């Protein structure tokens, strides 16, 4: 038998991988007691030997499987880093945009506009002062703050 108690396998149930708790040989059939990895629901199932051989062992308890594609892992890690960057970077809107705001625009947004309780403003200034850039920074920052709640 290739599957033993304590191993995590997939293809036993369609919804999730399971941890095998008990394997019992019943002649032409095999009884498996298992617990869902995500749902933590315990159950048992009787399957044929052919179905048993098709079970794919993902890992054993305490043993990790590092056979994944490193490029996919790097892409996933970068996506997670970008997804949570706003929580750690107070100037996230500035750093993730392709616009290079001027110091007075960053100061106006992060020192004066965002600390106020209600974010309703009339942004008026001379032509070319960067009102559009400041509006974009405020909008991006507010969206990031809403994700934190």
128 in a structural domain: yes
Domain region containing 105: 82-148
1 in a structural domain: no
Q: Write down the pLDDT at residue 60.
A: 59
36 in a structural domain: yes
Q: Do residues 23 and 1 make contact, with C-beta atoms less than 8 angstroms apart? A: yes
Q: Do residues 31 and 46 make contact, with C-beta atoms less than 8 angstroms apart? A: yes
Q: Write down the pLDDT at residue 130.
A: 83
Q: Based on the fold, state whether residues 89 and 55 are members of the same structural domain.
A: no
148 pLDDT exceeds 60? no
Confidence band, pLDDT 50/70/90 cuts, at residue 122? confident
76 in a structural domain: no
Over range 9-23, report the average pLDDT: 90
133 in a structural domain: yes
DSSP state for residue 111 in the 8-state scheme: I
Q: Write down the pLDDT at residue 64.
A: 64
Q: Based on the fold, state whether residues 101 and 144 are members of the same structural domain.
A: yes
Q: Write down the pLDDT at residue 146.
A: 62
Q: Report how many domains make up the chain.
A: 2
Q: Based on the fold, state whether residues 97 and 138 are members of the same structural domain.
A: yes
Q: CA-based angle 67:19:6, to the nearest 5?
A: 85
Query: When comparing pLDDT for 55 and 59, which is higher?
Result: 55
Q: Based on the fold, state whether residues 86 and 130 are members of the same structural domain.
A: yes
Query: When comparing pLDDT for 60 and 36, which is higher?
Result: 36
First-last CA distance in the chain: 50
Q: Based on the fold, state whether residues 52 and 97 are members of the same structural domain.
A: no
């Amino acid at each position: 038998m290739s599957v033993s108690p304590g191993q995590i396998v997939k293809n036993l149930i369609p919804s999730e991988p399971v941890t095998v708790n008990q394997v019992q040989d019943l002649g032409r059939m095999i009884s498996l007691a298992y617990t869902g990895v995500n749902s933590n629901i315990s159950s048992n199932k009787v399957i044929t030997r052919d179905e048993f051989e098709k079970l794919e062992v993902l890992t054993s308890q305490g043993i990790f499987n590092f056979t994944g594609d490193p490029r996919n892992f790097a892409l996933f890690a970068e996506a997670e880093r970008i997804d949570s960057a706003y929580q750690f970077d107070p100037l996230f809107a500035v750093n993730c945009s392709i616009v290079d705001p001027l110091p007075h625009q960053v100061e106006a947004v992060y020192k004066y506009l965002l600390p106020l309780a209600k974010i309703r403003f009339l942004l008026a200034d001379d032509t070319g002062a960067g009102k559009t850039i400041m509006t974009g920074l405020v909008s991006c920052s507010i969206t990031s703050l809403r994700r934190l709640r």
